[in-house]
Amino acid sequence: MFIFLIQIDGNWGEGGGSIVRTALALSTITQKPFEVYDIRKGRKDAGLKNQHIYCAKSLQELCNANAEGAELGSLHLKYYPKKIIAKNLNIDIETAGSITLLLQALLLPAMFVSKPIALTIAGGTDVKWSPTFDYFNNVLLPQLQRFAKIEAKLLRRGYYPKGNGKVEIKINPKFKLNEFSNFDEFHSHLKQNVQKYNLIEQHHLIQIKGISHASKNIESARVAERQAHSAQSILGKKFNAPIKISSEYQDTLSTGSGITLLAIFSKNNEDIDENNPIRIGADALGEQGKKAEIVGEEAAKNLIKEIGSKAPVDKHLSDQILPFIALIWDSKIKTSEITYHCKTNIYTTQKFLGEVFVLNEEEKIILA
């Protein structure tokens, strides 16, 4: 029997792993199989990496999917989803592979299961080239509460190279895919019943928060406190708003540190609207030879740049919420920058949901 596969160029745009992750998520929820070729072809270590394979394996467990070519270094992947099953999952990436990147593939379909589930994932919580756990929890998740009640708990941090961090995600769905005869009916229901995204203005800066963290073996050097103090000193000179940055240490297998900063805005100068959150994030990670003060300074300057753009959506959040915007349409967001990563996710999303997005480059507005 002939099965039509959506064709995706894995080397399109920035040609990174987000094409695979986004395709896996949307394929699973729409029940449309796909074929992606030339995966990360332009990269030095081309093909599927370990975390991409775990994305496919995790979704295979969630929906009994068939995946052909899910092997290390493979330039080609075929994926055939089946009915999503509501089940708790325990996943160990076994390296410092990013937990938050794996969730870019797993979270979307897991949000629409038939009953509450829990995902327990071991791997890297704060590693390069991926959202930190604190960014995921404090910037992205508040935007996804439109679709499901989601609680994320950090059980243990995991730094490069050994990882071993652990996160638990509890999901209580508001909309259940199995209650509809097909995806089109489900999609229509979402468009009619989910609160739209309308993030065009920052409005009032209410407060700046942050979490500065480090492995316990460098606590005597006060790394977390120095990161926090550096960031707070720079931000305090720039903004007249409450600033609170906490410091913490944990036992970890690898030495590491980092800081995530969060700017919270609201239309009402005295109250925060939890139903339509306006949050901008920025972060920085420590590394050998990099002073803690530089880490804090880097995160603070990144946040200042994002706030200065006057956009309520930072450049990293914009590409991460694209699939969710496409699910409800008739939404618009203004971002500080429409990155190549963002354009690549638009390309992938539209393969499954049609010509959804329009970009206004001058004003950095994304319309669905």
What is the set of active-site residues?
A: 341
* Residue in the structure block whose two tokens are 């050097």: 221
- CA–CA distance, 62 with 151 (Å, rounded to integer): 19
Are the beta carbons of 223 and 253 closer than 8 angstroms?
no
Are the beta carbons of 148 and 118 closer than 8 angstroms?
no
- CA–CA distance, 301 with 237 (Å, rounded to integer): 12
* Residue in the structure block whose two tokens are 């055939």: 80
Residues in the chain: 368
- CA–CA distance, 99 with 123 (Å, rounded to integer): 6
- The per-residue b/e assignment along 289-327, b for 16 or more CB within 10 angstroms, e otherwise, is eeebbbbbbbbbbbbbebbebebbbbbbbbbbbbbbbbb
* Residue in the structure block whose two tokens are 């969630």: 62
- CA–CA distance, 99 with 94 (Å, rounded to integer): 11
Rg (alpha carbons) of the chain, rounded to whole number = 20
- CA–CA distance, 17 with 345 (Å, rounded to integer): 10
DSSP, residue by residue, 240-262: -S-EEEEEEEE--SS--EEEEEE
129 three-class SS: coil
- CA–CA distance, 207 with 270 (Å, rounded to integer): 11
Residue 178 structure tokens: 């199995």
Q: What angle do CA 323, 359, 325 make, to 5 degrees?
A: 20
Instruction: Compute the Cα dihedral for 250, 253, 255, 256 and give only its sign.
Output: negative
Q: How far is CA 274 from CA 9, 12, 243, 357, in A?
A: 38, 36, 19, 26
